[in-house]
Structure 1
């Protein structure tokens, strides 16, 4: 096979595996939409009550948006919501935009400016230590960002994309987790939840994780969301309205566009990530776990996953990322780490638990990174290039966009 390109940071890297049998997993991909036009249509024809029916002119509004780890066109989505709010006499001085960080690092002023443009002055980073108790889900306390809790109406943007635990992200998860406190993150991302039947990539039906974050979203008062889904072509679909209905519609769109049937088994899977997800190891390891722990594991026994990732932030700078690093870097083996973490861990460390689960059966190689020492410290293998990580004569499956491909 001729050399091929894979995403790396904001660019690409050329890969040549002349001695290997290479198959490329290319989902149908769908067709890109004009985001603004599609968002305006979605808000005009929502799933459930219209935004203009939910809001009064004197209401204060909190819009929870995704952070830098999601490629959501928040500038356009927030703009469309603000324009719709103006139709009922709600203006920008009544609106706060809260960045749903969860336990990720705060966004910088420059990042907020790039993400939101001239709406950046409305934005504040979520502080998980400044929250209000709004109820319980299955005995777990749901805490909510104070600004969001004090608003009369809560809206959100979001990305409905394949998610290791929720099946698909978006909807109530953006608010309940992104603008929530540690207790609900600890519960939903703990070993007991993540070991339950139905908690898996690409499925929202009878998924206990999805059900928990939806219930938490209700307690947070999420009234209306404007979400998108994306694929290789770009943004594929937009939906607005009642959060559960929005997630269901966009999950259907994503499944149709992103599924690839796997008929064979391979010695190696080369899984592409690219920006923003390859900024740090915490996010980039999603590529490996999506491959190994998805609906169909395409690897033979002893097969490996190879992930080219830039990693300019190393393991990651947020609380969750640092907990992830501490668990992995302090472990002697994947098996011992998995057993230890089954007894419990802090919120944010769940990615280490899931990585350990995958590593029990398959090695993971991270290539082309700026942080090879961090990779090697975390039970993974650093290599300078993809070619260095794939053995000659291997049967190789290339998944150019691993986070937006469902192997079925």
Structure 2
């Protein structure tokens, strides 16, 4: 029997004839029309309406997601601009800022593709252009000057499973995406990531999530328009108060993405696809989601197999370079993990959680254009999925690993 997984914008097909293969297919939910769902969400928001918060003379900044998120930002921004026009705010009063965090800047072509008619008013965030707005837990909260100077601050976002925040979206687009290294370093440091409640899929009682929400208060995020997605596509939209938006869409996401797991497996083959498999930094999310989620399905000494294209190698942003430097210069995963417990630069946290997984499990990346980079980073490169899975293995196939929550049975 053949199996098919995403690989970049296409697919890869493989056979594991000597293995016992189970498939973790999330329920998936039902896709909605993005524009209609967004318009309905803006018309019936959590808290005050956007039109009530706006003044005709306002300078507006809309912070959107970057190329690592599959957010339909062009549609969401169009819905927001149409709503702002109802109170007399012209397009010339609006700035769209790409929330990069420490990821690489988007190219002009990528911005044009992502933002369509709004590309001309869209710019990349630059962490060097930040100003201090206040502090959370003694940590400075600094954001891009176009965010600080805005009379009205709005954000888009994708509420999807996130290793630390539980689910992304809400204030994260602004506080991290348009922020500086200070908050990124604090929230992604070993002390925060070691706290109880900082877990994939958890929103309530999650200190990471609570810190982001508090930073959103400091910055003055007025209104959020977010969506969530699953295998079927965009599953819903929610607007208004950022905390309520995340809770609302996280509930939709959990229902659509949760798969109970009872058995243990020698190998988990995890599908990723574009845009996340563009570099190794993003690709390793699938391995950590599998091994560090609610229900780890791996037997001791098992392996995670990740088909990924990796046209960008390890990745080109500051965080991606720090990830590569840490892993490629490490003697072993265990040594790196112990070393990083003492602290690390913002952006290197993905090396920390990847090392945490690699202490116990092997990670194989297959079908990539950058096998040398994979091998540099304490992982194994293989030409195909078949080459990475030992005959006779019990295998769990997770077709959409970044949109699947492996959970313990009730």
1:243 — aligned with what?
A: 242
Describe the SS at the equivalent of 2:133. Answer: strand
Helix, strand or coil for the counterpart of 2:343? coil
Q: Note the C-alpha offset of 1:395.
A: 0.4
Q: Following TM superposition, by how much is the alpha carbon of 1:220 offset from its aligned partner in structure 2, in angstroms?
A: 1.2
Matched, 1:136 2:135: yes
Structure 1 alignment gaps of length 5 or more: none
- Name the SS for the 1:29 alignment partner: coil
Q: Which contiguous aligned blocks of 4+ residues in structure 1 show a shift greater than 4 angstroms?
A: none
Q: Does 1:401 align with 2:364?
A: no
**Residue 30 in 1 paired to residue 29 in 2?**
yes
Quote how far apart the aligned CAs of 1:361 are. Answer: 1.0
1:268: which partner in 2? 267
Rounded to whole Å, the distance in 2 between the matches of 1:96 and 1:218 is 20
Question: Residues 9-38 of structure 1, C-alpha deviation per residue, up to 9 Å, x if partnerless?
Answer: 000000110110000000110000000000
Alignment partner, residue 169 of structure 1: 168
For 1:85, the equivalent position in structure 2 comes to 84
Partners of 1:12 and 1:148 in 2: CA distance: 39
Counterpart in the other structure of 2:202:
203
Write the mapping of 1:309-328 to structure 2, written as runs, cut at 5 A: 309-328=308-327
What corresponds to 1:252 in structure 2?
251
Matches of residues 42-81 of structure 1 in structure 2 within 5 Å?
A: 42-81=41-80
TM-score if structure 1 supplies the norm length? 0.99
Q: Distance in 2 between matches of 1:366 and 1:224?
A: 40
**Residue in 2 that maps onto 1:146:** 145
Q: TM-score, normalised by structure 2?
A: 0.99
1:390 aligns to what?
389
Q: Which residue of 2 aligns with 1:223?
A: 222
C-alpha deviation, 1:364, in angstroms: 0.4
Deviation of 1:346 (Å): 0.4
Unaligned runs of 5+ in 2: none
Deviation digits for residues 185-214 of structure 1 (CA, Å, limit 9, x no counterpart): 000000100011100100011100000011
Find the residue that maps to 1:228 and give its secondary structure.
Answer: strand
Q: Secondary structure at the match of 2:305?
A: strand
SS at match of 2:22: strand
Q: What is the total number of aligned residue pairs between the two structures? A: 407
Q: Give the RMSD, CA atoms, in angstroms.
A: 0.4
* Alpha-carbon distance between aligned partners in 2 of 1:273 and 1:219, rounded to the nearest angstrom: 35
Residue 170 of structure 1 aligns to a residue whose secondary structure is coil
| Rounded Cα–Cα distance in structure 2 between residues aligned with 1:35 and 1:73 | 8
- In 2, the alpha carbon distance for the partners of 1:141 and 1:190 equals 15
In the TM superposition, residue 174 of structure 1 has moved relative to its aligned partner by 0.5
Secondary structure of 2:226 counterpart: strand
Distance 1:361 1:105 in 2: 31
1:301 corresponds to which residue? 300
Aligned to 1:7: 6
Deviations 1:227-272 (A, max 9, x none): 0000000000100000000000000000000000001000000001
